[in-house]
Structure 1
Amino acid sequence: MKAVILAGGKGTRLLPLTQKLPKPLVPLLNKPVMEYSIELLKEHGITEIIITLQYLSDKIRSYFGDGSQWGVQITYLQESLPLGTAGSVKNAEHLLDEPFLVISGDALTDFDLMAGVRYHMQKHSLFTIFTKEVKKPNKFGIVETDEQGHIRRFVEKPQKEEEFSKVVNTGIYVVDPFVLCMMEKGKAYDFSKDIFPRLIKNGMSLFGYHANGYWKDIGSHEDYRQAQYDMLDKKVRVHIAAEEVLPNLWVGSNVKMEDNVTINRPAYIGNDSYLGDHVVIGKYTIIGKSSKITKDCELSRSIVWDDVTIEHTSPSSIRNVTIAPRYQISEGYKAGTSVKVKNKKNISPVEAG
């Protein structure tokens, strides 16, 4: 079985994180979000992967290469213009001659993918949507199924008065190649706006598979942060790239800490990082690789990307921020000052640089 990973979006809601980095490469505990999808596919025996690209595609190609490092074979398809979720898959039609899986390059999940594939086959479905019940469905497409699992209604990003369900489309699909015949190559199509309504209207077999497990779309700054907190709390079954030296404390290789460092769990410290005298790492703090946190600094619920230097000569507290790679915070804060974000996105102003 083959899989198509959709990795062409710009991730505008994650700006400025995605200003110079494609959304699939945004790190979760020091690994690109799409790397977890590739590992999940490999775990389920799916090793032939097609990745659709558009925005900052060279960076994705450079990181994943031919996929051999992960035990998979990757084929890239470049779009000159955005083709939408369905149009991107149509672009891969020549490589797809049997039912295949579609998964997003910017979501974190541990679903049993093959359970959904078996469901698709048992139902003789043309198109099967992995669904999940959520608390706030207005950001997604909501679905209603009958007793047999047929999807009878679908509304994309409903208004409050339109919410007839809290079961949503996760963007993970099993697709029969016949569906691709419903589109013209080179045109933009969206599964939710164009394909699902046609399938429902024509009474074609569109099924919803209610998946068990964790799923989060990394579409907003809030979700980006929460996904990593959930990983630290072991709410999602993924491989974390560090050693769990104590319960819920992961430390990478070649990390140097002074004797008087305090670390409160859960937390993650990346490879080749340094924690200096009297540094306090609060709960839900993530330090990227090769970062340097020097004397008397306290961090809590903050995400520090790679190669960041924080140098304070007087006690300071940094909380609820995300700090961009290769940024340096040095003298300039008064003793006891809290570096705290005031905007709703919880993004440090330093990231804009």
Structure 2
Amino acid sequence: MDAHRSLKKWQNILVGPDTPLEKAIEVLDKGGLRIALVVDEQKRLLGTLTDGDIRRALLKHRPLDSEVRRVMCQTPHTADSSWSRERILSVMEDLELLQIPVIDSDSKIVGLETLHGLIERRKVDNPVFLMAGGFGTRLRPLTNECPKPLLKVGDKPILQLILESLVGEGFHRFFISTHYLPEMIQEYFGDGSKWGVSIQYVHEDKPLGTGGALGLLPKNEIDQPLLMMNGDLLTTVNYRELLDFHNRHDSIATMCVRQYEHQIPYGVVQTDGSYIQSMEEKPVQKCFINAGIYVVSPELVSNVEEGTCIDMPTLLETSMEAGKKVAMFPVHEYWLDIGRMDDFKRAQLEVDRL
């Protein structure tokens, strides 16, 4: 069997068992195959690390300096190098695998079979809602005469980078919300035919908040879970996996989150009345923050009446108070919220990571 069956080089996704989780995430993200292969010094396969393994570790607040061996799947499905392509594809289909390592008789890794190419060519009918109505006040004077989504990162507007990343994954039904300088956005993107997709616009006469904008969508056209995101984000998150995650978790919505660490610059004292229980010098607090990407069910969209002014966190809190489930999807991939001038400058330096 050829060792280069995948679209990208599998040699670039090899890590050792003692590799820190943070470094393994970088390897996985750069490899673009949604998997890292854990091997010993002789290239014998010890395990695999997938997006799902990483997200489960993040949800458990595993430290990023944890060794990969503590997080990896130690009993991955494998294919023998003597198998035919047809047999491998049949096994992958039966086991619903997106990729499978190929090993020889000594358990040494010799290749990786992937369904990546087939998946990329399949269309995704879920509608996408891009929020592009903000004023971008923290980026003035750049936004005095240009809406933030049209500011260029590299040689393309931010919103075009977002659109093209989604088009590349098979999405073709787009809605864009506008408010500030809407005619510039509509003139640039038109009806989407330039990208071979459909784009419809909804206009906020007054700012309604991210949740309120849902009330402007044509309810009869939101017939599947809606992917929704802010129009000032740069990310390499896997949108297909996000949709699959949402569909598996029986929730009215799914919010993407990022792990955020903050070091308290002082010694923290735990007390019991007038007595000290413990002391910790400059502890690091970990939490999840809203990443500005959501999947929302048609039910939630239909619940937002036209003209309602509400942001997404409040809308989701209201849903939870009503007994509905809201899931969270940890994003470990590249992610940058272009909110301030420093973020915009950083985006110019990191655009090649997209």
- TM-score normalized by structure 1? 0.56
Once residues 7 and 133 of structure 1 are traced to their aligned partners in structure 2, the CA distance between those partners, rounded to angstroms, is: 25
Residue of 221, 224, 235 corresponding to 1:109: 235
Match in the other structure for 1:73: 198
Once residues 286 and 255 of structure 2 are traced to their aligned partners in structure 1, the CA distance between those partners, rounded to angstroms, is: 15
User: In the alignment, is the contact (CA less than 8 A) between 2:262 and 2:285 conserved in 1?
Assistant: no
Amino acid at match of 1:195: L
Please tell me whether residue 18 in structure 1 is matched to residue 155 in structure 2. Answer: no
How many angstroms does 1:164 deviate by? 6.5
How many angstroms does 1:40 deviate by? 1.3
- Secondary structure at 1:203 match in 2: coil
Match in the other structure for 2:271: none
Amino acid at match of 2:206: L
Amino acid at match of 2:337: D
Moved over 4 A (4+): none
Once residues 110 and 202 of structure 1 are traced to their aligned partners in structure 2, the CA distance between those partners, rounded to angstroms, is: 33
- Secondary structure at 1:167 match in 2: strand
Please tell me whether residue 92 in structure 1 is matched to residue 213 in structure 2. Answer: no
User: In the alignment, is the contact (CA less than 8 A) between 1:106 and 1:219 conserved in 2?
Assistant: yes
Once residues 2 and 177 of structure 1 are traced to their aligned partners in structure 2, the CA distance between those partners, rounded to angstroms, is: 10
Identity %: 33
Instruction: Note the alpha carbon deviations across 1:114-133, whole angstroms, 9 max, x for none.
Output: 10100000111210011122
How many angstroms does 1:98 deviate by? 1.8
Once residues 30 and 136 of structure 1 are traced to their aligned partners in structure 2, the CA distance between those partners, rounded to angstroms, is: 34
Once residues 188 and 26 of structure 1 are traced to their aligned partners in structure 2, the CA distance between those partners, rounded to angstroms, is: 27
Match in the other structure for 1:198: 318
Please tell me whether residue 216 in structure 1 is matched to residue 342 in structure 2. Answer: no
Q: 1:112 to 1:15 in 2, by over 3 A?
A: same
Residue of 4, 21, 29 corresponding to 2:154: 29
Q: 1:164 to 1:188 in 2, by over 3 A?
A: farther
Instruction: Note the alpha carbon deviations across 1:96-141, whole angstroms, 9 max, x for none.
Output: 122110011111111100101000001112100111223469xxxx
Please tell me whether residue 126 in structure 1 is matched to residue 273 in structure 2. Answer: no
How many angstroms does 1:93 deviate by? 4.1
Instruction: Note the alpha carbon deviations across 1:191-216, whole angstroms, 9 max, x for none.
Output: 12x21221333331100011231111
| Higher helix proportion | 2
Once residues 222 and 190 of structure 1 are traced to their aligned partners in structure 2, the CA distance between those partners, rounded to angstroms, is: 25
Q: What are the within-5 Å matches in structure 2 for residues 1-353 of structure 1?
A: 1-94=126-219, 95-135=221-261, 165-192=286-313, 194-231=314-351, 234=352, 236-237=353-354
Amino acid at match of 2:225: P
Once residues 325 and 203 of structure 2 are traced to their aligned partners in structure 1, the CA distance between those partners, rounded to angstroms, is: 30
Once residues 168 and 136 of structure 1 are traced to their aligned partners in structure 2, the CA distance between those partners, rounded to angstroms, is: 12
Amino acid at match of 1:89: L
Match in the other structure for 1:303: none
Amino acid at match of 1:108: L
Amino acid at match of 1:119: F
- Secondary structure at 1:118 match in 2: helix
Instruction: Note the alpha carbon deviations across 1:174-227, whole angstroms, 9 max, x for none.
Output: 1101113443211211112x2122133333110001123111111000111111
How many angstroms does 1:36 deviate by? 0.8
Amino acid at match of 1:200: M
Once residues 260 and 172 of structure 2 are traced to their aligned partners in structure 1, the CA distance between those partners, rounded to angstroms, is: 30
- Secondary structure at 2:224 match in 1: coil
Instruction: Note the alpha carbon deviations across 1:262-282, whole angstroms, 9 max, x for none.
Output: xxxxxxxxxxxxxxxxxxxxx
Amino acid at match of 2:340: S
Match in the other structure for 2:60: none
How many angstroms does 1:39 deviate by? 0.6
Note the residue ranges of structure 2 that are not aligned, 5 or more in a row. Answer: 1-125, 264-283
Once residues 145 and 155 of structure 2 are traced to their aligned partners in structure 1, the CA distance between those partners, rounded to angstroms, is: 17
- Secondary structure at 2:294 match in 1: strand
Once residues 208 and 164 of structure 1 are traced to their aligned partners in structure 2, the CA distance between those partners, rounded to angstroms, is: 19
Larger of the two Rg values belongs to structure:
2
Once residues 285 and 315 of structure 2 are traced to their aligned partners in structure 1, the CA distance between those partners, rounded to angstroms, is: 21
User: In the alignment, is the contact (CA less than 8 A) between 2:258 and 2:289 conserved in 1?
Assistant: yes
Amino acid at match of 1:12: T
RMSD: 1.8
User: In the alignment, is the contact (CA less than 8 A) between 1:127 and 1:174 conserved in 2?
Assistant: yes
Once residues 116 and 100 of structure 1 are traced to their aligned partners in structure 2, the CA distance between those partners, rounded to angstroms, is: 11
Query: Which fold has the larger relative contact order, with Cα–Cα distance below 8 Å and residues 6 or more apart in sequence?
Result: 2
Once residues 142 and 214 of structure 2 are traced to their aligned partners in structure 1, the CA distance between those partners, rounded to angstroms, is: 26
Aligned residue pair count? 208
Amino acid at match of 1:170: A
- Secondary structure at 2:134 match in 1: coil
Instruction: Note the alpha carbon deviations across 1:118-171, whole angstroms, 9 max, x for none.
Output: 00001112100111223469xxxxxxxxxxxxxxxxxxxxxxxxx974321111
Q: 1:20 to 1:135 in 2, by over 3 A?
A: farther
